[in-house]
Amino acid sequence: MAEASRTGKALGQPVKRVDGVAKVTGRARYTGDFDVPGVIVGRCLRSPHPSARIVSIDTRQAKALPGVHAVLTGADVPDTLHGRLCRDVPILAKGVVRFVGDRVAAVAADSIDIAETALELIEVEYEPLPAVFTAEEAMRPGAPILHPEKIEVGAGAAGGHHAELLMYPPIPNVISRLRLGHGDAASALAGAHRVFEHSFTVPGVHQGYIEPHACVVAIGADGIIDIWAANKGPHIARAQMAPAIGVPENRLRFNPVYIGGDFGGKGSLMDLVLCYHLALAARRPIKMVMTSFEELTAGNPRHSASITLRTGLDHDAKIQAIDARIVFNGGAYAGFIPGPTLHGYSELAGTYRVPHCAIEVLRVYTNTVPRGHMRSPGAPQVQFAVESHIDMIAHEWGLDPLEFRRRNAIAEGDPTPLGEQRRHMRCRETIDAGARVFGWDKPRPPGVGRGVSIYEHPSGSSGRSTVVLTMGKDGRITILLGAPDQGAGFHTMAAQLVAEHFGLSMTEVDVVLGDTLSTGFESGAGGQRLTMTAGQAIADAAGKMKVMLAALAAERLNCAPSDVRMDADGSFSASGTIIDLKSLMDWAASRGKASLSAKGESATKPPDVTGFVAHFAEVEVDRETGQVRVRRIVTAHDIGTVINPILHQGQIEGGLVQALGQAMCEQIVLKDGAVITALLGDYKLPTIMDIPELETVLLPGGPGPAPFETAAIGEMSNVAVPAAITNAVFDAVGVRLVELPVSPERVLAGMSEKADAA
Amino acid sequence: MRSLKLTVNGTPVVREVADNRLLVDFLREDLKLTGTKESCGVGVCGACTVLLNGNPISACLALAVHADGGQVTTIEGVAEGDRLHPLQEAFLAHGGFQCGICTPGQILAAKALLEANPHPTRAEIQHWMMGNLCRCTGYYKIIESIAAAAGATGT
């Protein structure tokens, strides 16, 4: 069958979100909004100690309180440990607690008030134990060991190309050590003209979704366990939960929900296993909604990191080698992320031509809040270090930071620092496009500084998607999806792609989110993959359905299927006769074929093209107070075909302001291991007053790796922003910040240090 | 307990409530109006914004009895049947939300703004909307949506 090119009737159009009306009218139901018959609430008691032995727990008074249906402690639940890769998370503390916020006991009660009162009636005697709060402390010989028992590691803990991965190596508290590289960095550094070394510290930040974690578990009389959970990947969650509770996967039904923001943080089971055990014990459906306090103190925020970089240059200021040591503080449990470590290392210096590269990544247990995934996990930490380091080298060498980057920018034909070959390297073009709009060369007013920072990241391919398309006799198509839209626009994008494949308009496509019993495996959002994986699954299903349609059309038009041509508007023709989709389906229905159905799956091949971004920041520094104001940002993106300009721009703007928060005001502050930025009044998310003037520059025409040459955008906008800002602060007042966030205290201290030295 | 008489989205409501019942719990649990969301619980995020006698308040900080005799508007009362309010239309057309969890609060705060100031400047929009956090959009499209709705209402 011949096929016409695309119509653009749906693809590339700023169509309204398919979930839009539900969201603006309050009809969209999030996990906490579900009212299951007979449901009562679950709450848990958390540890006040960072490390302690539980001597005794007395729950008698709590159990006696009217309205309490169940009280559980570690002794009442199985010893099973769960986790996404490393299975180290207990259902409730078993004898020891490992961070301030660790779950010690849980209550099911008629109301939150009763549950809270019951928690206060539980008496726990603790014997405090030595604790470690930083990764460096935790790795020292003789440090107290958080998990002395052997931790089971799930399948898939592979280091990848040119990599050596050790899970639980013989270093105290180390979860994983990954060493990888390309070439011979040690020799290249030894032979370099000049070598620069700098170290950086990046604190943890919270994903900041406005909907806290929530779940509902109802154990049905039919043996089916119904679940509603603020989890972006219900099929993955089901696969984790089934072994954790010893129930076959096909008895767990994760029901459709709306998700109130994710940003990488809603991929773990969080309270689900505990909620199940409360439901078992209380013989009632249970709803657990974390408070904002619990989210901030005991969620799964971004890993804090310390990073040291050494870079060798030749006589022409060209990079010869980079050596990196990255240490991530993983907190008390490793089970909140799906891999052995965070992927930020894989794009380290991906914007530069680096002939020799050596990277070591350590992920370490400490007695602090367990860390999880957040938008491009590991990359903002690593990229803050790399792009500050590059700026420092340029200044120490005496080169304009933009010129230094252009001189070393990776170009077509260059291998990446890790030795991979990719096509279509538009690094320098992206820098230049942004610099032009920003006016890099224009004179700066006094007190104003300008900084640049760049980043490279291919579209994601780490997951799998499955979709089912059904065409009814009216020619309308329904797409059945297996994961919620966490906000980025997955469902709308899917509808647009389906419409485009069949030359339909958006109004002729219906999106249905199924439960985990009615849908095929879908990884859901994460690692900026859905444009790739869902795009491929949709293309696969559309291709299969077109074959069926061509066979029908051939039958109708009395010709061979190979003679049928499908036009862009979805009609079929052969030797001058045309039949539109609706008439064809109507005819098929009259012959007993009421609908057509096709299942599509994604391919798993990683893309061989990548994407670049360049951010330019202009800041103004108050010399009296050290206060920094970000006046203006220009963000330039090397993109593929845009599916929906509103959603696309939404990813750019949202990621950018999230990064602005990380740069300027957000920080999880720990005191003796406890999170003390425990309310949203203390943990400062950016407000509408904090946003700078923003200009976006798009470089279209890139061959995106996904169907219709589309490409991912979700993790391109946030990663490199903080360094653009700190580089601008240096440009303004000569103060180099090697730690985030940009606080007035740090800037002021830096300025007075400079004044003292002068 | 005390008897509470108020109007919610134009409908008279009479209920017995505990003195310490929060307005957000009264709306979400007693009246099943789950369009109002709760997040921070301390009046910072604005997700629970509702209108009491036309003024935006945080329903997580107000007692239900505080609304006695008053008129409460929640997100469920903003559209007229199937006809969306210009703000709802503008948020849809301009991408003023993504995950949607803060959207009920944003729309109610913006509704109060346009009633107080039908043609706000960009700076006035920012100043008024300061109490409504959004983690998805970076706020640019919220400003755009409100400005567009102000143009569309034509008042």
CB contact under 8 A, B92 and A291: no
Q: How many CB atoms lie within 10 A of CB A396?
A: 11
Sheet containing strand A509-513, strands side by side: A509-513, A477-481, A466-471, A596-601
Domains of chain A: 2-28+461-601 (3.30.365.10), 34-131+211-260+266-298 (3.90.1170.50), 304-459+607-757 (3.30.365.10)
- How far apart are the C-alpha atoms of B4 and A752, rounded to whole Å? 60
Closest-CA distance, B16 to chain A, in angstroms, reads 17
Question: Treating both helix axes as pointing N-terminal to C-terminal, what angle do A721-733 and A744-757 enclose, rounded to 10 degrees?
Answer: 40
- Let me know: does A419 contact A182? Beta carbons within 8 Å: yes
The tokens describing B118, both together, are: 């039908």
pLDDT, position A347: 86
Q: What residues of chain A lie within 8 A of the CB of B39, using their CB?
A: 210-212, 292, 680
**From B28, B92, B136, residue closest to A16, measured CB to CB:** B92
Pick the closest to residue B93 from B138, B153, B149 (CA basis): B149
SS (H, E, C) A270-302: CCHHHHHHHHHHHCCCEEEECCHHHHHHHCCCE
Distances in Å between the Cα of A520 and the Cα atoms of A467, A517, A524, B66 are 7, 8, 11, 49
Pick the closest to residue A684 from A659, A709, A701, A667 (CA basis): A667
* pLDDT(A616) > 80: yes
The tokens describing A45, both together, are: 């008691």
Which one of A24, A209, A486 makes the best mutation probe of the B interface by having the most chain B beta carbons within 10 Å? A24
Q: What residues of chain B lie within 8 A of the CB of A209, using their CB?
A: 99, 101, 135
Using DSSP, state whether A479 is helix, strand or coil.
strand
Closest-CA distance, B36 to chain A, in angstroms, reads 7
Element (H, E) at A69: strand A68-73
Q: What residues of chain B lie within 8 A of the CB of A299, using their CB?
A: none
**From A210, A258, A293, residue closest to B133, measured CB to CB:** A210
* Contacts with B, A 485-524, CB within 8 Å: 486-489
Q: CB under 8 Å to B54, separation ≥6 — which residues?
A: B71, B73, B112, B115
- Which residues of chain B does CATH 1.10.150.120 include? 86-153
**From A33, A489, A691, residue closest to B34, measured CB to CB:** A33
Question: Treating both helix axes as pointing N-terminal to C-terminal, what angle do A234-245 and A272-282 enclose, rounded to 10 degrees?
Answer: 50
Go through chain A and tell me how many residues it has.
Answer: 758
Q: Does B124 touch chain A (CB under 8 A)?
A: no
Q: Does A130 touch chain B (CB under 8 A)?
A: no
Closest-CA distance, A650 to chain B, in angstroms, reads 6
CB contact under 8 A, A292 and B41: yes
Q: What single-letter DSSP state applies at residue A230?
A: S
- How far apart are the C-alpha atoms of A498 and A600, rounded to whole Å? 12
Q: Please give the mean pLDDT across all residues of chain A.
A: 95
CB contact under 8 A, A261 and B97: no
Q: Does A695 touch chain B (CB under 8 A)?
A: no
Q: What residues of chain A lie within 8 A of the CB of B75, using their CB?
A: 24-26
CB contact under 8 A, B99 and A649: no
CB contact under 8 A, A210 and B45: yes
Pick the closest to residue A141 from A151, A132, A153, A129 (CA basis): A132
- How far apart are the C-alpha atoms of A32 and A213, rounded to whole Å? 9
The values of phi and psi at residue A112, to 5°, are -60, -40
**From B92, B102, B143, residue closest to A20, measured CB to CB:** B92
Closest chain A CA to residue B137: A654
The tokens describing A570, both together, are: 């979805």
Q: What residues of chain B lie within 8 A of the CB of A694, using their CB?
A: 140
CB contact under 8 A, B134 and A16: no
Q: Number of helices (H) and strands (E), helices first, in chain B? A: 5, 5
* pLDDT(A6) > 70: no
For the residues A405-433, what does the mean pLDDT come to?
Answer: 95
Using DSSP, state whether A101 is helix, strand or coil.
coil
**From B91, B135, B140, residue closest to A208, measured CB to CB:** B135
Q: What residues of chain B lie within 8 A of the CB of A28, using their CB?
A: 100
Element (H, E) at A512: strand A509-513
Q: Does B26 touch chain A (CB under 8 A)?
A: no
Report pLDDT digits (tens) over A550-570: 999 999 999 998 899 988 888
pLDDT, position A382: 98
- How far apart are the C-alpha atoms of A174 and A157, rounded to whole Å? 15
* pLDDT(A35) > 70: yes
Q: Does B93 touch chain A (CB under 8 A)?
A: yes
- How far apart are the C-alpha atoms of A638 and A647, rounded to whole Å? 16
> A576, exposed or middle or buried, with CB in 10 Å at 0-12, 13-18, 19+?
exposed
- Let me know: does A535 contact A576? Beta carbons within 8 Å: no
Closest-CA distance, A278 to chain B, in angstroms, reads 22
pLDDT, position A110: 98
CB contact under 8 A, A680 and B74: no
- Let me know: does A491 contact A544? Beta carbons within 8 Å: no
Q: Which residues pair with A163 in a beta bridge?
A: A180
CB contact under 8 A, A680 and B42: yes
Q: How many Å from the N-terminal Cα to the C-terminal Cα in chain B? A: 43
For the residues B9-30, what does the mean pLDDT come to?
Answer: 97
- Let me know: does B146 contact B89? Beta carbons within 8 Å: no
Which one of A39, A116, A210, A374 makes the best mutation probe of the B interface by having the most chain B beta carbons within 10 Å? A210
- How far apart are the C-alpha atoms of A292 and A297, rounded to whole Å? 9
- Let me know: does A611 contact A458? Beta carbons within 8 Å: yes
For the residues B46-75, what does the mean pLDDT come to?
Answer: 98
Under the banding of pLDDT at 50, 70 and 90, the label for residue A1 is: low
pLDDT, position A27: 98
pLDDT, position A63: 98
Closest-CA distance, A21 to chain B, in angstroms, reads 7
Sign of CA dihedral A292, A293, A299, A301: positive
Report pLDDT digits (tens) over A644-692: 999 999 999 999 999 999 999 999 999 999 999 999 999 999 999 999 9
Report pLDDT digits (tens) over A725-754: 999 999 999 999 999 999 999 999 999 999
- Let me know: does A664 contact A741? Beta carbons within 8 Å: yes
Q: Does A291 touch chain B (CB under 8 A)?
A: yes
* pLDDT(A30) > 60: yes
pLDDT, position A653: 98
- How far apart are the C-alpha atoms of A180 and A182, rounded to whole Å? 7
For the residues A221-226, what does the mean pLDDT come to?
Answer: 95
- Which residues of chain B does CATH 3.10.20.30 include? 2-77
Full DSSP string of A319-385: EEEEEEEEEEEEES-STTSSSSS-GGGGGTTTTB--SEEEEEEEEEE-SSPPPB--SSTTHHHHHHH
Q: Does B61 touch chain A (CB under 8 A)?
A: no
- How far apart are the C-alpha atoms of A463 and A215, rounded to whole Å? 24
* Cα dihedral value A189, A191, A193, A198, nearest 10: 20
- Let me know: does A167 contact A153? Beta carbons within 8 Å: yes
Question: Treating both helix axes as pointing N-terminal to C-terminal, what angle do A721-733 and A379-397 enclose, rounded to 10 degrees?
Answer: 30
- How far apart are the C-alpha atoms of A652 and B92, rounded to whole Å? 18
Under the banding of pLDDT at 50, 70 and 90, the label for residue A606 is: confident
- Let me know: does A677 contact A296? Beta carbons within 8 Å: yes
* pLDDT(B154) > 50: no
Which one of A13, A16, A18, A25 makes the best mutation probe of the B interface by having the most chain B beta carbons within 10 Å? A25
CATH of domain B86-153: 1.10.150.120
* pLDDT(A7) > 90: no
Q: CB under 8 Å to A436, separation ≥6 — which residues?
A: none
* From the candidate CATH numbers 3.10.20.30, 3.90.25.10, 3.30.470.20, 3.30.365.10, the one assigned to the domain spanning B2-77: 3.10.20.30
Report pLDDT digits (tens) over A337-374: 999 999 888 888 899 999 999 999 999 999 999 999 99
pLDDT, position B155: 42
CB contact under 8 A, B141 and A30: no
**From B42, B75, B126, residue closest to A26, measured CB to CB:** B75
Q: Does A689 touch chain B (CB under 8 A)?
A: yes
Pick the closest to residue A92 from A115, A108, A107, A73 (CA basis): A73
Q: What residues of chain B lie within 8 A of the CB of A687, using their CB?
A: 130-131, 133, 139
Q: Does B95 touch chain A (CB under 8 A)?
A: yes
Radius of gyration of chain A, Cα coordinates, nearest whole angstrom: 27
Q: How many CB atoms lie within 10 A of CB B155?
A: 9
* Cα dihedral value B115, B117, B122, B124, nearest 10: -110
Report pLDDT digits (tens) over B112-150: 999 999 999 999 999 999 999 999 999 999 999 999 999
Closest-CA distance, B133 to chain A, in angstroms, reads 6
Pick the closest to residue B35 from B137, B129, B105, B114 (CA basis): B105
Q: What residues of chain B lie within 8 A of the CB of A216, using their CB?
A: none
Q: How many CB atoms lie within 10 A of CB A691?
A: 19
The label of the residue with tokens 């006769």 reads A577
Report pLDDT digits (tens) over A179-210: 999 999 999 999 999 999 999 999 999 999 99
Helix extents (H) in A133-172: 135-139
pLDDT over 90, % of chain A:
91
Report pLDDT digits (tens) over A617-641: 999 999 999 999 999 999 999 999 9
ipTM of the shown complex: 0.98
